[in-house]
Amino acid sequence: MNRNVQSQDRSHTWAKVDRYLERKLLMPDAALEEALSANEVAGLPNYDVSPLQGKLLHLLIRMSRAKRVLEIGTLGGYSAIWIARALPQEGKLTTLELDPRHAEVARTNLRHAAIPDEQVEIRVGDARMQLARLEDEGTEAFDFIFIDADKPSNPAYLEAALRLSKPGTVILADNVVRGGEVIEESSADARVQGIREFFERLEGDQRIESTALQTVGIKGYDGFMMGIVR
């Protein structure tokens, strides 16, 4: 059996296991399912976290007792629903989205999920500029920051996230393994090089203590980085 066939077989198994775990551990949720359907109808790219990953994000926010969360990369708001539902009543999510059309889809999905408008702020525009504006506005430090946007900008997002943090802030970054391509030094893929620089900046950075895990499932082979600000 060649490598491609082996990889396809493994991916098929990963997807089946994910679906099994979803049936066992997640309750049916019409709002989340409708959000994914709405994203597909709107032609948004299929970059959303998986249901199990969304639940992990939700639980991490609850475990850290976060009240202020920053999400870099809204897309259609699927992960934003998971995040907002993890917040206490006084909590707030600030989420950044480049594309105004994506942001409008996200607003509709959040509304259909009965998330109060005042609990989520969607800021539209280039994420680097939005992050700089948050700093200029003297925004209060966030308790939890989720990085899930364009990968070439991950190094810049990391630096901004650290500036918008405080001791104890959790920083989570998704899609940092890229099917194993992260180890390819000579990769011509700007996303891979962005992730590699992201890890190079984390290496030895005394401001944050971090780890990374490889993941498999319906989204394929990837991974995430998680750290806590010192």
> 221 has which bridge partners?
216
Rounded to an integer, the average pLDDT of 72-82 is: 98
| Angle separating helix axes 51-63 and 3-25, nearest 10 degrees | 60
- What are the tens digits of pLDDT across the range 3-55? 454 456 688 999 999 999 999 999 999 999 999 999 999 999 999 999 999 99
With 90 as the cut, is the pLDDT of residue 1 above it?
Answer: no
Element (H, E) at 65: none
- For the chain, what are the domain ranges? 3-229
The pLDDT value given to residue 10: 82
With 80 as the cut, is the pLDDT of residue 230 above it?
Answer: yes
Q: Which of 7-11, 101-105, 173-177 has the lowest mean pLDDT?
A: 7-11
CATH code for the part of the protein at 3-229:
3.40.50.150
Cα torsion 132, 134, 139, 140: sign: negative
| Maximal CA-CA distance, the chain | 58
pLDDT class of 115 with cuts at 50, 70, 90: very high
